[in-house]
């Protein structure tokens, strides 16, 4: 299984791998017999005026020294050296720099000092891994000269300026004309026809909106500052949500203050109501700090659903309760403060066409955001197991209070389940195997070398088969191959967001298809966020049909009649 690069990892200061270079002059025989791609470092010196086109075939190069020559230009083909991390073209006669160098995103050092360069192409702002940009000794002009001449000059200052003035987007931002096209509308993929005897059809959206405090240039250096700013992103996120008009919306990475002061008021104007809970760490913080803690939200169309009950799942508390003396449980699982949030909804009579004669139906909606670090695959799996166990406990408690036969009170599948979230797990992971099949081996490789079998005995452990199980019969709404990725950043592109549904009670009528890959390629978009894409995740949307189920009569919310 491929690993997701840790998203919270900051850009490190670059240390050149070989500060004391050793020279070797190759003999004619060596030059004739050895492949050019055997070498990772190359120096060309001796008053060179032109570069041979064969140089661009040496794609293994990581360091290239062209300093102290008589070069007047660098060909655009230099961008073919995609692995280059160090490039020194100082002390030449360069008058400009090719914009194509902006595609060399592996560069960590670019030495352009002591040339005849007066302007720098804004495309160099895309070199977000660059730690050192040397421009001294050039006749620079305008704003770039002012930045470079500052006593406190930092490479990131010039990169930020170049990136923020990079053309290529629709509209105008801070006086910058931007011209490229927006992504085409994502296609709707039809999966099945509606059953005319069951008119309860609804849509659900699952969307990790990228919390403001995580949207930094250190993490997303390929995106302009203005497009990372929350005042810009929040408008586009809301537009994205309202464009699809889903009946149920599951959001992850929502800051507490943003839920109460932005999303809840704005979505209420559109006929939604919602619930929210921040991550567990919020309990230990001051009121001022707590408002910046991110969490999860569930919104629902208030003309179609009634909220009966909500339930919070805190993984760190469950880890402590199930530790049974396990140091791994306490040190690895309990220290992560992810949560799950569930809402028991009931459809409103008359909310759907031809449903006036039908009884209201209950639906359990859950959203979750599982721990992100790929080195903690064991924690991801255990958090998911805890989530399913808690949902079963929650449903069992509801069924015990309903007026149904005792034999049916033992079956949690009586209540349809809709499970949405960012599970930070690829389709071939233990997490998705467990959710989809209802079981996972106690010796699954995602548990690594850690021994959890005893302390997880309460979470559906079958001693006869050496498996952990859950009782819910659920399926993925998006089958393999529909979405090549739901998360699209520079370091990672893959499917980690999911919608699961009760296959006994629901059928998938359609799903929202992927973003146009041709648009991504034509615009050389290496990762999101992007001025046209406000998060590093793409929302997924599913249309479902809820089959008629046996009427349940759980206790009404706050004593209010359920049949309004």
Would you name the residues annotated as active-site residues? 422
CA distance 416 to 501: 8
Q: Which token pair is 264?
A: 């809840």
Contact present, 437 and 469 (Cβ < 8 Å): no
Of 513, 431, 512, residue with least CA distance to 474: 431
Of 308, 313, 345, 311, residue with least CA distance to 204: 345
CA distance 248 to 491: 31
Between the CA of residue 536 and those of 204, 217, 513, what are the distances in Å?
Answer: 20, 13, 17
CA distance 351 to 546: 13
Per-position DSSP letters for 249-267, written without gaps between them:
EEEEEEEHHHIIIIIHHHH
- Per-residue HEC secondary structure of 120-184 comes to CCHHHHHCCCCCEEECCCCCCCHHHHHHHCCCCCCHHHHHHHHHHCCCCCCEEECCEEECCCCCC
Sign of the dihedral through C-alpha 211, 213, 214, 220: positive
CA distance 199 to 509: 12
Alpha helices, H only, 18-118: 28-33
Size of the chain, expressed as the number of residues it contains: 564
Name 23's Cβ contacts closer than 8 Å, sequence gap at least 6: 43
Name 496's Cβ contacts closer than 8 Å, sequence gap at least 6: 4, 422, 423, 424, 425, 426, 486, 487
In 279-361 the beta strands, taken as DSSP E runs, fall at 294-301, 305-314, 339-347
CA distance 120 to 158: 10
DSSP 3-state of 564: coil
DSSP state of 563: -
Name 167's Cβ contacts closer than 8 Å, sequence gap at least 6: 122, 176, 177, 178, 179
Q: Which token pair is 483?
A: 């979405």
CA distance 62 to 87: 8
DSSP state of 528: S
Contact present, 224 and 163 (Cβ < 8 Å): yes
The region that residue 331 occupies, defined by phi over 0 for left and psi between -120 and 50 for alpha, beta otherwise, is alpha
Contact present, 254 and 263 (Cβ < 8 Å): yes
């Amino acid at each position: 299984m491929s690993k997701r690069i840790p998203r919270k990892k900051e850009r490190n200061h670059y240390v050149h791998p070989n500060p004391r270079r050793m020279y070797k002059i190759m003999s004619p025989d060596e030059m004739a017999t050895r492949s050019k791609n055997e070498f990772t470092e190359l120096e060309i010196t001796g008053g060179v005026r032109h570069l041979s086109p064969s140089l661009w075939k040496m794609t293994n190069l990581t360091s290239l020294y062209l300093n102290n020559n008589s070069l007047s230009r660098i060909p655009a083909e230099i961008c073919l050296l995609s692995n280059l991390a160090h490039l020194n073209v100082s002390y030449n006669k360069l008058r400009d720099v090719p914009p194509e160098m902006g595609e060399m995103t592996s560069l960590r050092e670019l030495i352009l000092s002591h040339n005849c360069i007066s302007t720098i192409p804004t495309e160099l702002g895309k070199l977000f891994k660059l730690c050192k940009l040397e421009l001294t000794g050039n006749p620079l002009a305008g704003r770039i000269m002012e930045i470079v001449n500052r006593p406190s000059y930092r490479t990131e200052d010039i990169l930020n300026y170049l990136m923020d003035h990079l053309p290529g987007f629709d509209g105008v931002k801070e006086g910058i004309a931007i011209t490229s096209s927006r992504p085409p509308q994502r296609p709707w993929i039809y999966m099945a026809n509606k059953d005319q005897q069951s008119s309860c059809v609804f849509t659900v959206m699952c969307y990790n909106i990228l919390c403001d405090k995580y949207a930094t240039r250190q993490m997303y250096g390929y995106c302009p500052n203005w497009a990372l700013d929350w005042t810009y992103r929040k408008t586009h996120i809301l537009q994205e949500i309202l464009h699809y008009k889903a009946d149920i919306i599951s959001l992850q990475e929502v800051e507490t203050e943003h839920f109460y002061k932005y999303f809840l008021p704005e979505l209420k104007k559109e006929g939604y109501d919602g619930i929210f809970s921040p991550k567990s760490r919020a309990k230990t913080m001051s009121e001022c700090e707590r408002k910046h803690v991110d969490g999860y939200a569930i919104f629902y169309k208030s003309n179609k659903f009634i909220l009966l009950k909500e339930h919070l799942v805190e993984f760190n508390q469950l880890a402590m309760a199930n530790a049974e003396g396990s140091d791994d449980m306490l040190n690895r699982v309990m220290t992560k403060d992810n949560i799950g949030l569930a809402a028991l909804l009931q459809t409103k009579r008359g909310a759907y066409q031809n449903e006036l004669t039908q009884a209201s139906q209950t639906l359990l909606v859950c959203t979750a955001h599982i721990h992100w670090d790929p080195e903690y695959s064991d924690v991801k799996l255990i958090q998911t197991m805890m989530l399913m166990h808690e949902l079963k406990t929650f449903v069992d408690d509801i069924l015990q209070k309903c007026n149904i036969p005792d034999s049916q009170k033992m079956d949690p599948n009586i209540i349809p389940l809709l499970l949405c979230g960012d599970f930070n797990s690829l389709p071939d992971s233990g997490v998705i195997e467990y959710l989809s099949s209802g079981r996972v081996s106690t010796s699954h490789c995602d548990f690594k070398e850690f021994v959890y079998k005893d302390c997880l005995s309460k979470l559906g452990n079958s001693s006869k088969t050496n498996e952990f199980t859950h009782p819910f019969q659920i399926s993925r709404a998006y089958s393999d191959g529909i979405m090549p990725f739901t998360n699209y950043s520079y370091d990672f592109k893959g499917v980690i967001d999911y919608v699961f549904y009760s296959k006994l009670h629901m059928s998938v009528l359609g799903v929202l298809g992927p973003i146009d890959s041709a648009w991504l390629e034509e615009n050389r978009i290496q990762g999101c966020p992007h001025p046209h894409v406000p998060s590093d995740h793409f929302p997924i949307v599913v249309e479902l049909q809820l089959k008629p189920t046996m009427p349940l009569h759980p206790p009404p919310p706050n004593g209010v009649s359920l049949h309004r």
